[in-house]
Structure 1
Amino acid sequence: MEVLVLPQGQRLDVPHGENLLTALQQNGVPISYSCMAGRCGTCRCRVVDGDIHEAGGYAFHNADHQPERHVLACQSVVTGACTIEIPEPDEVVVHPARIVKATVTALEDLSHDVRMIRLAPAKPLSFSPGQYAMLQFTPDHIRPYSMARLASDGELEFHVRMVPDGRVTSYIRDTLKAGDTVRVSGPLGTSYLRTRNEDPILCIAGGTGLAPVLSIVRGAIEAGLPNPIHLYFGIRSPRDAYGLHWLDELAQRHPRLRVEVVSTLPGHASDMRSDLRTGLVTEAVAQDFDALGGWRAYLCGAPPMVDAATLLLRDKGVRPEHIYADAFYASGT
């Protein structure tokens, strides 16, 4: 049977029941992948037509409510003639998923409810700016968190919001200490920095969604990207702001970086920066831009913010395939 791969237009002879990712790799078709187990979403592709069966039904990868059908190549088999589309073949990243042991080197409170964890991995962990990893503190305390720095930094940094009565965050707050061992699995996620274009970049971060956005901006600076970058950091109230000195430092290093900090609730003059805006972060973006055609956007934060921002950016002209998001889902664990 035949598989037509877009946009390359390559035609492959693939046996019935062949794993799609394996078939693409054997025929030299560029496609991103990592975990090979259906967790990271990196090998997502679009089924234009034909017969592809995806084991497990990974419906969350169609969370953008588009009528198109998407599948994970690593979890799919070819069951008939079909046409698939590989997204951004010139932006392929391959970071084989690894499980590494890491040692806690630092714990620091960044705000009243955000704690930073720094880890020194026993072996290097390769990842792209914007990706995340699964942290296992004990067999009963496991949660995904985004890297805030770069793979080249050597140490891994994570920003954790302390959820009241949260099982994992309570462990981090009350028990975790420097010198403890943490198991790190990754990388995961598709909202990583694309470097092979000069399109303007819009980053919208909510809360600890600032962590992957910091990684993305740091990655853009390290890569020497000339792209203009507009970064919007949305917080609930002025007391929730953190990392502002990092944002100021990055703005000094990248002459085309503009930063806006937006608080949903107003605060007292004594605890507000002079440049702090009030309102929803999506309202600020809507006020600042009439159109965003040709832009690329990275959205990091809670699902309601990501969903609202996605609708806004599409209305402003951002192509759906150029909106990258790994929403943060709250957990009582």
Structure 2
Amino acid sequence: MEVVVEPLGLVLRASPGANLLETLRTNNVPVSYSCMAGRCGTCRCKVVKGTVLETGRDAIKSDPRGDGHVLACMSVLTESCAIEIAEPDEVITHPAKVFKATVTSIEAMTHDIKRLRLRPSKPFVYSPGQYALLQVAPDMVRPYSMAGLSTDDELEFHVRLVPDGRVTGYIDEKLKVGDSVRVTGPLGTAYLRSRHEGPMLCVAGGSGLAPVLSIVRGALESGMRNPIHLYFGVRTPTDVYGLQWLDALASRHSNLNVQTVVTSGSGEDQAMRSGIVTEAVAEDHPNLNGWRAYLCGAPPMVEAASLLAERRGIAREHIYADAFYASNS
């Protein structure tokens, strides 16, 4: 059977029952991957013709009315098909690792956000904007985005304390400096696209500042000169944190513009705007054609920002979203 790889126009030979990701890798097709177990979503691709069988689901057929996306690592070839891989020039291959890290500090950033810093036991390479699974105790595992870069000496995470949350409650009340945390990663597809030369829209809600900070730092420290417009949205002034980091970056890089938007209670603070963060973006940018968007935070904000970005001209495949779902687990 044949597998056509778009947009590269490659035609691969494969046997029925072959794993799609292994077929791509064996033929040196540039495709992103990480966990190899269907968790990270990095190897996501689209079936544009024919059928493949994704583990745990019905056969995925090309369908103009549907999505057609599959995870290559979990997909089996059943017949000749054509697939579309995203951004072959922006491939990342950071095989997921499992390792231990030691807690070096836990500090309060706001009334409900903790800054957790870990020193990894081995080098950990990831792309800005990715996340990892942190196991702080048996049966206590949650995903958190890295706030720094893989060149940093330590890993940094911003943990929002969830009422009655088992994991965040443990981090707040029991985890201490010197404790060991099990880390699995990197995971996630909302990472920095470093070859893009156009403007970047970065919208962070609450602790969604962590991956956005990583993305912005990654862009600036790698020498990207793109105009970067960062919007940090929070509910009240007491939810604001990290402005010293953002101000320092903006003072050193003229291509970075930072807007802090507070839903209510900003008062006369001239450094903050009042209102909804997506409304601020809409007011400032009537046309986003040619931009890329990085959106991180609570699902309602991410959904609203995604819809706005698409309506203002950003192609759907150039909107990289990471929604933070609350959990009491």
Measure the CA separation in 2 of the matches of 1:302 and 1:133.
18
| Partner Cα separation in structure 2 for residue 267 and residue 163 of structure 1 | 24
Between 163-172 and 205-214, the greater mean CA deviation after superposition: 163-172
Q: Distance in 2 between matches of 1:45 and 1:143?
A: 26
SS in 1 for 2:134: strand
Q: Which residue of 1 aligns with 2:219?
A: 220
Task: Give the conservation status (yes or no) of the 8 Å contact 1:124–1:154.
Answer: no
Q: How does 1:77-116 map to 2 (within 5 A)?
A: 77-116=76-115
Contact 2:163 2:328 (C-alpha < 8 Å) held by counterparts? no
| Aligned twin of 1:62 | none
Root-mean-square deviation (CA, aligned residues, Å) is: 1.1
Which position in structure 2 is the counterpart of 1:166?
Answer: 165
Percent of aligned positions with the same letter in both sequences? 63
Cα separation, 1, equivalents of 2:301 and 2:242? 20
Of 308, 311, 324, the match for 1:312: 308
2:124 maps to 1:128:
no
Runs of 4+ in 1 over 4 A off after TM superposition: none
Structure 2 unmatched ranges of 5 or more? 59-64
Q: Which position in structure 2 is the counterpart of 1:321? A: 317
| TM-score, normalised via structure 1 length | 0.95
Deviations 1:7-65 (A, max 9, x none): 1100011111100000000111000000000000000001111011111249xxxxxxx
Q: With structure 2 as the length reference, what TM-score do the two structures score? A: 0.96
Residue 268 of structure 1: how far off its partner (Å): 4.2
**1:264 Cα deviation from its structure 2 partner:** 1.2
Does the residue aligned with 2:78 lie in a helix, a strand or coil? strand
Q: Give the Cα separation in 2 of the matches to 1:211 and 1:56.
A: 33
Cα offset, 1:291, TM superposition: 0.7
Distance 1:56 1:196 in 2: 35
Question: Do residues 43 (structure 1) and 43 (structure 2) align?
Answer: yes
**Partner secondary structure for residue 135 of structure 2:** strand
- Distance in 1 (CA, whole Å) between partners of 2:259 and 2:305 is 15
Structure 1 residue 81: Cα displacement? 1.0
Q: Residue in 2 aligned with 1:63? A: none
- Equivalences for 1:185-200 in 2 at 5 Å? 185-200=184-199
- Aligned residue identity for 1:137: V
Number of equivalences = 323
Describe the superposition over 1:233-284 as per-residue Cα deviations: whole angstroms up to 9, x where unpaired: 0101111000010110111122110001111112444xxx312111111101
- What is the one-letter code of the residue matched to 1:323? I
Deviation, 1:197, is 2.0
Contact 1:261 1:276 in 2 (8 A): yes
Report the secondary structure of 2:304's partner residue.
Answer: helix
1:167-182 maps to which residues of 2 (within 5 A)?
A: 167-182=166-181
CA contact (8 A) 2:266 2:272 kept: no
**Which amino acid is 1:162 matched to?**
L
1: CA distance between counterparts of 2:311 and 2:285?
Answer: 11
